[in-house]
Structure 1
Amino acid sequence: MNLRVKQKIPLKIKRMGINGEGIGFFKKTLVFVPGALKGEDVFCQITAVKRNFAEARLLEINKVSKFRVEPACDIYEACGGCQIMHLRYDKQLDFKADLLRQALKKYQPASFEEYDIRPTLGMPEPRYYRGKLQFQTRSFKGKVQAGLYAEGSHRLVAIKECLVQDQTTQAIIIQVADLLTKHQIPIYDERKIQGVRTVMVRRARETGQVQLIFVTSRQVNLTGLIKELVAEFPAIVTVALNHHKSKSSEIYGEKTEIIWGQESIRESVLGYEFDLSPRAFYQLNPEQTEVLYGEAVKALDLDGSEHLIDAYCGVGTIGFAFAGKVQSVRGMDIIPEAIEDAKKNAARLGFENTYYEAGKAEEIIPKWYAQGYRADALVVDPPRTGLDDRLLETILKYQPAKMVYVSCNVSTLARDLVKLAKVYKVDYIQSVDMFPHTARTEAVVKLVRRS
């Protein structure tokens, strides 16, 4: 490789990579340049040289893309939470469909060239869409700050205004930081490992109800803080404490307790209401969740005779969209609190054809089949790591006739389709922009078992 660190080179950007960076070739070597756009001629400096590629820092743009825009965020580059805010929004949507094509080309599931990849469904107003925030806390010169780590570091970037975060949750976290300072609440430090380390704030779009989780490595007294906070923000109905004493990078520890208010907040999607306990998973973008789940319903194409499994069911949200259209819905999740929410939500909604069980799908589904249960349809909405290998084997063994895969990671989706495409035909992939201004997208895949 003819490149070295600190070397400055001109580069033509040929395409954009899966993390939103520009990609060009220098003497046949791939060079990744964050901040550069397809079609631009740039001048950059090499920051790292790897075996098959190099990374570079953008210094100057000699030919500017006509789709480049000025990011409206003052801390866009420092924060790193968004990667493509400098790309015009309609072109962001094109990029996200291309992300799917890149991932499929890399993993090459059967007949991937023929897949129908539909245009990405975007938002009319792609700002202030995140209904949930998880900010780290640090004490700096006696004052508590809340924000995100700069990309690839543990340097906290304090955030006072975020253009993708729900404005009420943003206002609450600013006040939380001020009250943590005022009440001298111990704040986590990586050397001392004690105190509040993370604060989660989630707001329901439908009801406006808000819940908080304080993640702490030691017992803290939040009584005074909570009293002042809820007086200023009466929409807060739940405050929980999560105990996380280990040094791991996991956001939460195992134990969560409600220390003030009610157990859950109420949200709504596709016309049905459900409750969310603090640790239960729900999509970050409530507005686009309507679109995403609507596409999942459309893709499964039910006739009413089916018995459906909702793997990774959370509090039951996707399954409820199908419950009135099938013979039965069965779901599982590894978070017991989510399963309890699902049971309560189903009962309150009047569904008598649902069943939920805490545990791993790859263990529960074989148990159900051993008991004589058979599924005609399957919905999976896994975490970014994709389908567990054992669950994938379970699906290929039992082969429900209809399947919908809801994915938040194009790479693990493409990887999983390598095996699934041996048994299922990929009818189409519908990209949904759940995360405007970031290099992430969500996808709904319609799969039909081959005859």
Structure 2
Amino acid sequence: MITLKIGQKISLKIERMGINGEGIGTISGRLIFVPYALPGEEIVAEITENARNFSRAQLVKINKKSRFRVKPEDPVYADLSSSHIMHLAYPQQLAFKKDLLLQALEKYKPAGFRNYELRETIGMENPLHYRNKLQYQIRRLNSGDVIAGLYRENSHHLVNLENCVVQEEMTQDIANFVCRLIEKYKLPVDDERKTRGIRTVMVRRSQKTGEVQMILVSSARITLDGQIWPAPYADQELTKREKMGFVKLDKFLSELTEKFTDIVTIAANYHPKKTSEIYGDRTQILFNEKETITEGVLDYEFELSPRAFYQLNPTQANVLYAEAIKALHPKKTDTVIDAYCGVGTIGFALANKVKSVHGMDTTPEAIVDARANAKRLGFKNCHYETGRAEKIIPNWYKTGQRPTALLVDPPRTGLDSELLETIAHYQPEKMVYVSCNVSTLAKDLIVLSQFYHVDYIQSVDMFPHTARTEAVVKLTKREKPMRLERKFNTRK
């Protein structure tokens, strides 16, 4: 086995791309992972890390370039993450994202995976400025300048983002103006050590209506119109430090809403704890013409509260949801379970095509929005509950309901093991799995493929220029379940 030293420079030919978008080459059978290198390239790389079976290296020089290498549109994209692939021509990005699925399936080997139909990735006509929401951290530099951006991968270095080319332009403009106003009015900014103040800004713009909502996350209390928020409890005295660290927002809000008239909601979130969580427990509307923004997908509209989840790419959300509906092949007699329903977006697209939709989500605000949206849209056959699917679904069966179809759209962690067990027990006739993580999808298919036939997997490029893709999986119940070859863990 060849021995490589940290700092050693090597010549390497890149053979393929890995699941995180890095180039992969081999030396004497040892895998070498090199971010920003492309298949077919001959490079010089410097070893940065050695593990038992592989090494990592940084790109030093390209001796032979790939014909698919392009100049990135964003000069700072490489500062954020080694999994960004803006240096790869867009058509080849789409091919790579189909290969991501294949790599994940080959790693976890669900039953019959070699025979799965993997369809070509559906991309965007214009893969720039697609993110309708930003969530930037705020920092004040020693110079006094205020910046907003994201942390560099695996570090605590904040990369200033003033012109992110994948971000919707108005959201970026608002974030930039927020920084200028913080400077102008000398508002305190959280420095994670001594100073309490503004720590995060969230801006989201509706593609349908152009309405904008914003959240300011602060570790200090806020004053507005002479009122303190959050107000101290009756028996609580503010510390001297708290009294000095108020974020006075009167002039800030006035100037911000005067310049950006599309802003309909501004909320504050109080988050004094030193944790990696973005939001604290308390949120307060500070300015509102509306408490929600109206967004649209396919042929209907819905309302979004500031903290409610919705896809970051509304253009491709239309594509993704259309593919999910097509895969489910809804019938008027279908009773559909919409697990991880959020504000009800996919379920509403099904409502006029099925007998009923029953959704659940663990976020109470999302369920409030889902119910309000269903009422506003006139869908009397949509029902929503707060809670975990693996707890609610058995209760529904106990009341005599027999859902014929299941739709799941889980977070990147995939399906909870208890939910997998629930699905294996009840086995609705058909199922659609909308995935945002090919690895957890492939792992979940180890169980699901024992009870369902995987008809096809359709990838959709929700995040151009990154090594991430979404996928829609069409599953139909097997006439006879396969013998479960591998047990899965059930959380106690």
Q: How does 1:18-167 map to 2 (within 5 A)?
A: 18-80=19-81, 83-141=84-142, 142-167=144-169
Contact 1:81-1:438 at 8 Å conserved across structures: no
For residues 33 and 137 of structure 2, the distance between their equivalents in structure 1, rounded to whole angstroms, comes to 29
Question: What residue number does 2:257 align with?
Answer: 230
For residues 281 and 399 of structure 2, the distance between their equivalents in structure 1, rounded to whole angstroms, comes to 31
From 233, 250, 267, the equivalent of 2:277 is 250
- Unaligned regions of 5+ residues in structure 1, if any? none
Question: What residue number does 2:490 align with?
Answer: none
For residues 224 and 360 of structure 1, the distance between their equivalents in structure 2, rounded to whole angstroms, comes to 43
Structure number with greater Rg is: 2
For residues 50 and 169 of structure 1, the distance between their equivalents in structure 2, rounded to whole angstroms, comes to 41
Which range is displaced more, 87-96 or 2-11? 2-11
Contact 1:76-1:82 at 8 Å conserved across structures: no
From 365, 370, 378, the equivalent of 1:337 is 365
Q: TM-score normalized by structure 1?
A: 0.98
Contact 1:160-1:174 at 8 Å conserved across structures: yes
The sequence identity of aligned pairs, in percent, is 59
- The Cα of 1:392 is off from its aligned counterpart by 1.1
Which range is displaced more, 293-302 or 243-252? 243-252
One-letter amino acid of the counterpart of residue 118, structure 1: R
Q: Do residues 278 (structure 1) and 287 (structure 2) align?
A: no
For residues 440 and 80 of structure 2, the distance between their equivalents in structure 1, rounded to whole angstroms, comes to 26
- The Cα of 1:253 is off from its aligned counterpart by 2.0
Q: How does 1:276-355 map to 2 (within 5 A)?
A: 276-355=304-383
The alignment partner of 2:321 has SS state of: helix
One-letter amino acid of the counterpart of residue 269, structure 1: V
For residues 56 and 82 of structure 1, the distance between their equivalents in structure 2, rounded to whole angstroms, comes to 14
For residues 32 and 82 of structure 2, the distance between their equivalents in structure 1, rounded to whole angstroms, comes to 22
The one-character-per-residue Cα deviations of 1:354-386 (angstroms, maximum 9, x if unpaired) are 111111111111222222222110111111111
The alignment partner of 2:119 has SS state of: strand
Contact 2:203-2:213 at 8 Å conserved across structures: yes
Sort the Cα spacing of 1:82 and 1:227 in 2 relative to 1 into closer, same or farther, 3 A: farther
Question: What residue number does 1:419 align with?
Answer: 447
The one-character-per-residue Cα deviations of 1:332-360 (angstroms, maximum 9, x if unpaired) are 11111111110010011110001111111
The one-character-per-residue Cα deviations of 1:122-170 (angstroms, maximum 9, x if unpaired) are 0001110000011111110222110111121111111110110000100
The one-character-per-residue Cα deviations of 1:242-284 (angstroms, maximum 9, x if unpaired) are 2223322222223222121021000000110000001111000
The alignment partner of 2:15 has SS state of: strand
Q: CA RMSD in A?
A: 1.2
- The Cα of 1:393 is off from its aligned counterpart by 1.0
Q: How does 1:2-21 map to 2 (within 5 A)?
A: 2-21=3-22
Question: What residue number does 2:482 align with?
Answer: none
- The Cα of 1:308 is off from its aligned counterpart by 0.4
The one-character-per-residue Cα deviations of 1:267-320 (angstroms, maximum 9, x if unpaired) are 000110000001111000000100000000000011211100111111100000
For residues 109 and 87 of structure 1, the distance between their equivalents in structure 2, rounded to whole angstroms, comes to 30
The alignment partner of 1:68 has SS state of: coil
The one-character-per-residue Cα deviations of 1:151-190 (angstroms, maximum 9, x if unpaired) are 2111111111011000010000000111112222221122
Question: What residue number does 2:386 align with?
Answer: 358
The alignment partner of 2:267 has SS state of: strand
From 385, 389, 395, the equivalent of 2:417 is 389
One-letter amino acid of the counterpart of residue 140, structure 1: L
- The Cα of 1:102 is off from its aligned counterpart by 0.2
- The Cα of 1:218 is off from its aligned counterpart by 2.3
- Unaligned regions of 5+ residues in structure 2, if any? 223-247, 480-492
Question: What residue number does 1:409 align with?
Answer: 437
